[in-house]
Chains A and B, each alone.
Chain A
């Protein structure tokens, strides 16, 4: 009994002493700014993107050391899109990426689409909700500047502002590492964002042995034979060799006349294109300016097609005679030649004009005017095409087979067995190393090629919400990211370094601004210093508090 009393007295005394202290501390804490709210970072499921998943966990640990709770919450990709494009805009931060397709070499996507304030509304691509009028002015200017040198000035300046404002933190870019069988084919070139089997491959590659029809492995199924039904580059890229386009981007990303022999910028909103003469569709009918007009107008009538963004600025298409097609633009749109003319397929009017809803047509047997004729498609198995003998440009191979696999392991086995000749997707680091190790000489016939990617993966932050509405917090956060860990450990070195606000990386030589200082080092001390300088404080319990207004 006596012991009990003593215990109770002791406990009470302790509570009084410490409780009193707590009250004093609380009073002191109250003088400080509001607590930094508890944050949620929507990251990737480890099975869909292990690097993002790991980086989110790392960042959570780093922020915990600074007295901020950040819950890394792995989220399914389609759920994530739902959240960041959703009406409610209810999120703090997330990890996601933009793939580096060839048309994104044009800076419009990574400067304007994902950063301009007009896209910061729900559903818009500016999912960082970044708003800066000074930046908007530059993004608008580059879009309508038809002189490429002047346009580059704007784009470079825009990159400087992004590096300063840090609307998002780029974690890393993956390399396009792909492989081919050099005992069968030679002359292949891995193109940034496009890979080994790109539009140019059939013109540059040479068969060494008997096999003149390369078998190209894909780990993604083809879902559509209808260009109107394409919803991503994966649906469309296999049809690009069957349907032709007016202009092509060269390996050095220069617009090159293709089905068009030339183009002329009459004024900022008028562009005349001259169609090549003597081309035929695979069914023998000639390719006419009417077909071109029809194709562009068909895409213009479908605001929800994959190609919608490319044709949006077109007001009307006119035929001037002599194979000249005039595009009248609603506003000056600089990417027109590099992205629009290089993307829109020329479709045979005589086949499509009778079809009511273009998007609902299955297009069992695509007829185009490209270098290859469609032979057959078997869902989940293969797409087969054969060389079109009547093509205006020499083609070195007799056709191609796009073979669809369910797993990269299966492709690796068939690469070893010689069933396939090259891959059309980026190898995973484990397979790259396996091929390089070449255990028992099993992969001696394979060559690994690497091309830097212009796409990037990043941490997006809701710039509308505290603490991400505070620029210093975003900059400090960029010092908590271990870029070396992402690149050297998680990617095994097959990629390039990220950085705060970096959207156009060095792989895009022409548009990348190398003079911009980018925060891209891991330095938690520097982060703490930046935060302290900006007025962030730490209370008695070590929790971070927002600056006082």
Chain B
């Protein structure tokens, strides 16, 4: 059988050097990709209409002042010169200074990134735990009303606009029931300064519930449906029948034998998701006044704040690539059939 023959050259001593070589090759390609993506991003922003000084200065300031600003930011230089400076800085991991905040891009992003990541990862955890188990269970209940109800439930939240779900959640849990705060990340005047004080406090967790719930419900459909489809495929395999034949309890067959093998596509989707999560869910951040990076990126684009927008997008694409790589490497461990 396929599995056995593949399983046979699963000797660790032989595989590891392959993986390292593979990772090395992938990393090299990644660097080239990042440089290409950065070039594209650079050109994209310069072809956008609108003068970046327009959002930097009050319209009532004199023309000479506007010119001085252009010069300070090097925007009077030719495109080629600007590009050389941009790439040179990038190679030193310097994303420049945000026009709008007058602060290093890395610090602006650094301020906002934890809030977004914690919200997104919580939502993801919520969606993936419920999704993986729920999807497996739905496949198991194939053809029953419970399955259709489950599919409908996950699709409703996938299709409903997130801001609307957010508003409904606020109305119910914050306004009507008063269980959770409606807006922001902390209570007014909360005095934590260290990461632990801020992100591990009860106050923060109370603020996290509603936005994470809204985002989680939105994400739910992806792992649920992927898991369900992949389970359906696995369940038709011979070894499941074998397990049944051995008289194993249903729960054991479901989670030990079938679900583990059905996980692969969910892992891929999950890895790509983490990449996208850095960008955040802008609508959710707006509805809950969550001080995340997503809002910042959107504003940077509309304000023609080139360095901030460029930096954000480069980080975003890098994370997507890295997560992709991790997913591919994870595969090798999850599925012995895959070798590099």
Report which A residues bind B (CB closer than 8 A): 76-79, 81-82, 85-86, 109, 113, 121-125, 213, 215, 223-224, 226, 229, 231-232, 303-304, 306, 308-309, 359-360, 362, 378-382, 384, 401, 403-407, 409-411, 413-414, 416-417, 419-420
Task: Given contact pairs A231-B58, A417-B178, enumerate 20 new A-B contacts (beta carbons under 8 Å).
Answer: A78-B304, A81-B54, A85-B54, A123-B62, A124-B63, A125-B60, A303-B65, A304-B64, A306-B58, A308-B62, A359-B102, A379-B111, A380-B112, A380-B295, A381-B291, A382-B188, A404-B291, A413-B174, A414-B182, A419-B181
30 A-B interface contacts by CB (under 8 A): A78-B51, A79-B49, A79-B54, A82-B49, A82-B50, A82-B51, A85-B66, A109-B60, A123-B62, A123-B66, A215-B188, A303-B65, A304-B62, A304-B69, A306-B57, A362-B102, A362-B103, A379-B112, A380-B111, A380-B296, A381-B186, A403-B188, A406-B286, A406-B287, A407-B287, A413-B175, A414-B183, A417-B174, A417-B175, A419-B188
How far, in angstroms, from A86 to B57 measured CA to CA in the complex? 14
- Interface of chain B residues 43 through 91 with chain A (CB within 8 A): 49-51, 54-66, 68-69
Q: State in angstroms the CA–CA spacing of A411 and B170 once bound together.
A: 12
Q: Tell me if B189 is interfacial: C-beta within 8 Å of chain A.
A: yes
Q: Write the nearest CB–CB distance from A333 to chain B, whole angstroms.
A: 16
Contact with A along B107-130 (1 / 0, CB 8 A): 010011000000000000000000
Residue pair A113, B102 in contact (C-beta under 8 Å): no
B314 at the interface (CB under 8 A from A): no
Distance A420 CA – B188 CA, assembled complex (angstroms): 9
**B219 CB within 8 Å of chain A:** no
Given contacts A224-B102, A360-B102, A417-B175, contact A78 B303 (CB under 8 A): yes
Q: What is the distance, in angstroms, from B177's C-beta to the closest C-beta of chain A?
A: 12
Pairwise interchain contact A224-B182, C-beta atoms closer than 8 A: no
- A338 CA to B69 CA, complexed, in Å: 28
For residue A457, give the distance in angstroms from its CB to the closest CB of chain B: 14
Contact code string B284-313 (vs A, CB < 8 Å = 1, else 0): 011111111001100000111000000000
Taking CB atoms, residues of chain B closer than 8 Å to A381 are 184-186, 291
Name the contact of A413 in the complex, choosing from B68, B69, B183 (C-beta under 8 A).
B183
Smallest distance from the beta carbon of A444 to chain B beta carbons, Å? Answer: 15
Asked if B101 lies at the interface with its beta carbon under 8 angstroms from chain A, I say: yes
Q: How many Å from the CB of B303 to the closest CB on chain A?
A: 7
CB of A83, distance to nearest CB on chain B (Å): 9
- The verdict on B167 contacting chain A, using a C-beta distance below 8 Å, is yes
Kindly state the separation between the CA atoms of A531 and B108 in the bound complex, as whole angstroms: 56
- Of chain B, the residue at the smallest CB distance from A414 is B183
Docked-complex contact A309 and B102, CB < 8 angstroms: no
Tell me the bound Cα distance from A401 to B100 in angstroms: 23
B296 / chain A contacts, CB cutoff of 8 Å: 380
CA–CA, A406 and B189, complex, Å: 18
> Is chain B's binding surface mostly helix, strand, loop or mixed?
loop
Q: Which residue of A lies closest to B291 (CB)?
A: A380
A384 and B49 within 8 A (CB): no
CB within 8 A of B64: which of A77, A303, A416? A303
Task: Return the chain A residue nearest B71 by Cβ.
Answer: A304
A419–B291 Cα gap in the complex (Å)? 17
A79 in contact with B112 (CB, 8 Å): no
- Are A122 and B58 neighbours in the complex by a CB distance under 8 Å? no
Check if A406 sits within 8 Å of B102, measured CB to CB.
Answer: no
* Residue of B with least CB distance to A122: B63
A223 to B100, Cβ gap below 8 A? yes
Per the bound structure, the CA–CA distance linking A419 and B221 in Å amounts to 34
| Min CB gap B42→A, angstroms | 19
Contact, CB under 8 Å: B183 / A401: no
Give bound CA distance, A381 to B187, whole Å. Answer: 10
Whole-angstrom distance between the alpha carbons of A136 and B170 in the complex? 57
The smallest beta-carbon distance between A77 and chain B, in angstroms, is 8
What's the least CB distance linking B166 to chain A, in Å? 10
Q: B288 — which chain A residues lie within 8 A by C-beta?
A: 406, 410
Knowing A82-B51, A379-B111, A413-B170, the reply to whether A403 touches B184 (Cβ < 8 A) is yes
Q: A123-B62, A231-B56 are in contact. Are A410 and B295 (CB under 8 A)?
A: no
List chain B residues, Cβ under 8 A from A379: 108, 111-112, 291
- Docked complex Cα distance between A362 and B54 (Å): 22
Q: Is A308's CB under 8 angstroms from B61's CB?
A: yes
- CB-nearest residue of chain A relative to B51? A82
Chain A residues with CB under 8 Å of B51's CB are: 78, 81-82, 86
Q: Give the residues in chain B near A85, CB-CB below 8 Å.
A: 54, 59, 63, 66
Given contacts A409-B167, A413-B182, contact A384 B189 (CB under 8 A): yes
Contact indicator A378/B63 (Cβ below 8 Å): no
A46 CB, nearest partner CB in chain B, Å: 15
**Is A303 touching B62 in the complex (CB atoms < 8 A)?**
yes
Given A76-B49, A85-B59, A304-B61, check contact A410 B183 (CB 8 Å): yes
Chain A's closest residue to B59 (CB) is A81
Q: A416 to B291: give the CA distance in the assembly, Å.
A: 21
Contacts of A86 in B (CB 8 A): 51
- Whether A406 contacts B63 by the Cβ 8 Å rule is no
**Neighbouring A residues of B188 by C-beta, 8 Å:** 215, 382, 401, 403, 419-420
Expressed in whole angstroms, the Cα–Cα distance for A284 and B150 within the complex equals 65
Q: Which of B50, B61, B69 contacts A309 (CB 8 A)?
A: B61
- Residues of A with C-beta under 8 A to B170: 413
Across-interface contacts of B112 in A (CB, < 8 A)? 379-380
Find chain A residues with CB under 8 A from B100 CB: 223
- For B64, give the chain A residue with the smallest CB separation: A303
CB <8 Å contact, A304 and B291: no
B62: which of A78, A82, A309, A419 is its contact (CB, 8 Å)? A309
A407 to B288 Cα, complex, angstroms = 8
> Which residue of B has the minimal Cβ distance to A86?
B51
Q: List the A side residues contacting B102 at CB < 8 Å.
A: 224, 226, 229, 359-360, 362
User: Given the complex, which residues of B lie within 8 Å of A124, measured CB to CB?
Assistant: 63
